[in-house]
Amino acid sequence: MISEHTGSHVDAPVHCHGEQATIDQLPVDCLMGPYKKYDLSSFAPEAGKPVELQIIKEIEKRDEFSLQAGDIVLIDFGWDKYYKPDSSGSEREWWGKNEPGLTNEVCKYFSEAGIKAIGADTPGVDICMLDGKILSAPGHVEYFLPNNILIMEGFSRMSQAPAIGVFMALPLKIKNGSGSPIRPILLA
């Protein structure tokens, strides 16, 4: 028995908004499409400090891409280096209680671009958290889930992915599910 929100997984809109779509109501291709990866690792993001829009724009210029409606955004914070499932105690729990997140402006920018989904190597994509205290979550509560933009969390080895390509993942059809484990696949 596992949670709907175990490992690499997707949050359905109902996850934070009770009257929204459950995972079994989403189309089979809800997590298929072109992706753009924002590699933030060289900016050394810190727990509790959200990434600003200026950095997102800088990455688009550096990697020579722009967002299109229907794109899937992948955020490589370089955060999977902190995920240590084989350790114990506070070292193991640190990843789940600390993350950089995204500013309100970044979430609004992605939402207004018409993205289909967003995923990251953190426990909560947009959630800015320090020592288990959520400091902000603009995507979950305002820009992503309420607008049917799916949130994917808990990715690993994103550094191996090119900046653009095709993303595919299939959520399990869990009746009335608020999310589902997924197996993400990238094609370059």
Supply the pLDDT for residue 17.
67
Please state the separation of Cα 126 from the chain's center in Å: 7
* Residues forming a β-bridge with 99: 129
What letter would DSSP give residue 81?
G
The conformational region for residue 88 under phi > 0 = left, psi -120 to 50 = alpha, else beta, is beta
* Residues forming a β-bridge with 186: 167
Q: Where along the chain do its domains lie?
A: 9-187
**Distance (Å, whole) CA 56 – CA 119:** 15
For the chain, first and last CA: distance in Å? Answer: 34
Supply the pLDDT for residue 4.
79
Closest CA to 23 of 139, 157, 112, 117: 117
Residue 66 clears pLDDT 90, i.e. is over it = yes
pTM of the model: 0.94
Supply the pLDDT for residue 161.
94
Residue 16 clears pLDDT 80, i.e. is over it = no
- Locate all alpha helices (DSSP H) within 10-164, ordered by sequence: 53-63, 89-97, 104-112, 138
Query: Which pair of tokens denotes residue 144?
Result: 């992503």
Lowest mean pLDDT among 11-20, 68-77, 91-100: 11-20
Summarize the confidence of residues 16-41 as an average pLDDT. 91
Position 116 confidence tier, pLDDT thresholds 50, 70, 90: very high
Name the CATH code of domain 9-187 (choices 1.10.3470.10, 3.90.79.10, 3.40.190.10, 3.50.30.50).
3.50.30.50
Residue 1 clears pLDDT 80, i.e. is over it = no
Summarize the confidence of residues 10-28 as an average pLDDT. 87
CA angle 98, 138, 93 (to 5 degrees): 15
CA angle 59, 7, 185 (to 5 degrees): 55
Residue 138 clears pLDDT 70, i.e. is over it = yes
